[in-house]
Amino acid sequence: MTVRSVSSRAVTTPLPAAARLAWWGTAWLRGHAVADLVVDAVIDTDATHTFARLPGAEGTETLVAGLARLRSTGATALGAAFPVEGDPAGLGGPTAFNADALEVGQAVVAVDADLGLVPRRTGAAVAWVAQPADRRQLVDVGEADRGLRAALLATAAALADLDVARWRPEVADRLMNLRHLDVPTAPPGVPGRCVELAARGLQATGIVDLALEDEGGSVTVHEERARRDALLPLQRAGRHALVAACSPEVWPPA
């Protein structure tokens, strides 16, 4: 998944920062994970993560202190958003929050606290900047799963017609090996179905990112457009799958 301005180097987990904070922050809020594990999982290879502009805070707060303050404001869970232009996946508004989240490509929403958090990077540090956020409407896990499976089949067929094996053999290899998943480490409390859905969402967006890295094999503008038209629905389905997998509001019952 291409996410702008938050991560500039290789990481040990394929999960974007918003997904890590959503999963592990929710685990902490619900008493499923201790603070040390949450800090390690969220920060990953960054130097630090902090919270800024939280209600009642005088300045920036550490990750654990910020989570505690979110709990005091009524937050019961954290959910992720992965918007792009024309598709604000996981966002509910208002306009200012949506615009900031869209600029970065990801955000986190504090459930039941009417707050949104947008990650801002300075060097190796990430600050989660808080601002008002509206309640969002989400695709549930089952619908996201079905949408992703349908998009994978449709994209594979379309790319086969476009001879993907000739212009991007590694993409063809990945489409032939969809059973191989890089499953991210999840904290207790995340349904297994959501962990698998997150892995397949990341797999799908990774295929699209790889396929769009180099258009050098395109013979004509028409062919280039045809390839993008075949790939973008899979990218959308992959992002929506990741949103559902990282949004406790729509998780299936334990």
CA atoms within 13 A of residue 237's CA, in its CB half-sphere = 25
Residue 211 has what pLDDT? 75
What pLDDT, on the 0 to 100 scale, is given for residue 41? 97
| DSSP codes joined into one string, 131-193 | EE--------HHHHHHHHHHHHHHHHHHHHHTTHHHH-HHHHHHHHTTT---PPP--TTS-HH
Sorted by sequence, the CB contacts under 8 Å of residue 126 that are 6+ apart come out as 6, 17, 46, 48, 49, 50, 119, 120
Residue 110 pairs with which residues in a beta bridge? 78, 115
% of residues, the chain, pLDDT over 70: 83
CB 153 within 8 A of CB 76: no
Give me the half-sphere count of Cα atoms (radius 13 Å) on the Cβ side of residue 101.
Answer: 31
pTM of whole model > 0.85? yes
pLDDT digits (tens, 9 = 90+) for 61-84: 999 999 999 999 999 999 999 999
| Mean of pLDDT values over 212-216 | 61
Element (DSSP H or E) covering residue 71: helix 63-72
Mean pLDDT across 166-181:
63
Q: Taking residues 140-145, what's their average pLDDT?
A: 97
